[in-house]
Chains A and B, each alone.
Chain A
Amino acid sequence: MRNLILFLIRYNAFFVFLLLEGVALFFVIRNHNYHRAGFLNSAGLVTGNIYNTYFSFGEYLNLNTVNEQLMEENAWLRERQNYMLIPDSLNTEVLKDSLKIFYEFIPVKVINYTTDKVSNYITLNKGKNHGIDKDMGVITGNGVVGIVSRVSNNFSTVMSVLHKNTRVSIKIKKFNYPGTLQWSGGSPALAELTGIPQHLPIAEGDTVVTSGFSAIFPENIPVGVIQKFQSPPGSSFYEVTIKLLADFETLQYAYVINNTLQDEQRELEKTE
């Protein structure tokens, strides 16, 4: 016993090292498995406020780009307004219940983001107090950006599409065929699709949109455009590379999507 204690004292630094490395690795592995940010994260009181202050300095630098993006988005929305459509008397449309809102859009500012890591996160300036919760989808006017991974009262962190563990359920618009979007490092403008079988006659330039299966994103939110694809030997699936439509390099404004029926869908699917 005495020898053991002497041994521990003699090599105290080595044991401190082993202990702390063990703790650190425990954190890393736990977060790796749970696919979420740890309890110390950029949505914290100190970290969030520092990023928020810093953001307010840099906010003006990108105003031109942001304005253009908002203009495009406005144009897109105007096109979809009813008064712009030529009324078609033959079209017997099913009336929608305007009292029942499926998706709420919460406008947010992006106060911090990265694009060059393996696991990229985005920090937003709103949190629980503004109705944001875990597992809500985040989009810009251009396309899908990520999924909320953690919220504090006034901030939230988002697992970007550019995160090795993010999976988004998508479909190829032309065929309505579902697949999965993932990203495994490299360029922040490109991502991969999995689960697209080789019998599907896809082409470069085909649009990829969200499938709406996962209850996180509504259907038909743009994701990207097929840039290239190849058929690896011995596999029945394509290797598809798509160009992402959201511009991850100049993120500034985004929308968090609250699916008011998400819990109900989850609950139902869980009991199956």
Chain B
Amino acid sequence: MINLVTNNLLRFLGLLLVQTLVLNNLGISFYINPYIFPFFVMALPFQTPLWLTIVIGFFAGLTLDAFNNTMGMHAAACAFIAFMRPVTLRLLTPRSSYENADQPRIHTFGLTWFIAFTGMLTLLHHLVYFYLEIFSFDNFFMTLSKVLLSAVVSTLLILLAVMIFSPGRKRT
């Protein structure tokens, strides 16, 4: 239990620092703003009650908002993907069942499942976030292309981060 809390806390801090100090300063293009922070919400233990996931998502988002001067936008987007997480899990059928699993892992569910899971939630997060950021539907397609391009880059970055940091793969 304590191990679980520490793990998630470390993941939260790590993602927050990488997001605010590295990714936010990339400035590659107006159309590519990767956000890997939402992975913290996606990777919360599956057993967490839904209401708690939403509350955690909200406050995690609010922390990122404080750094980005985007008051409320990340909070809204992160609470939204917390709410959508069970729906996404039900939509996707993994290689093995969700029983005995605590969180999304590549070696438990397979690479395809993992990309689909993080990709869908990242897309949902970016949809909410970027439309809230611009706060209008003028330039609808400009924002949409921003959502799609950023979601692709974010998903790849999440995949990369997980591959680097995933703890000891099972040896066969």
Contacts and interface: CB of A to CB of B under 8 A. Distances in A.
17 contacts: A13-B49, A13-B51, A17-B82, A23-B72, A24-B61, A27-B65, A27-B71, A28-B73, A28-B135, A30-B71, A38-B65, A50-B20, A112-B25, A114-B27, A116-B32, A117-B133, A157-B69
A37 interface: yes
Contacts of A218: none
A39 B65 CA distance: 10
Contacts of B82: 17
B71 A38 contact: yes
Interface in A12-58: 12-14, 16-17, 20-21, 23-28, 30-32, 37-42, 44, 46-47, 50-51, 54
Interface of A: 12-14, 16-17, 20-21, 23-28, 30-32, 37-42, 44, 46-47, 50-51, 54, 112, 114-119, 121, 157, 164, 184-188, 249
Contacts, number: 114
A112 B21 CA distance: 9
A114 B25 contact: yes
B83 A42 contact: no
Interface of B: 20-21, 24-30, 32-33, 49-51, 54-55, 58, 61-62, 65-73, 75-76, 79-80, 82-83, 132-135, 139, 142
A32 B58 contact: no
Top 4 nearest A-B pairs by Cβ distance? Answer: A27-B72, A38-B71, A24-B76, A13-B50
Contacts of A30: 71
Contacts of A24: 58, 61-62, 72-73, 75-76, 79
Main secondary structure of the interface of B (DSSP, over half): helix
Contact of B67 (A20, A42, A164, A184): A42
A28 B27 contact: no
B51 A40 contact: no
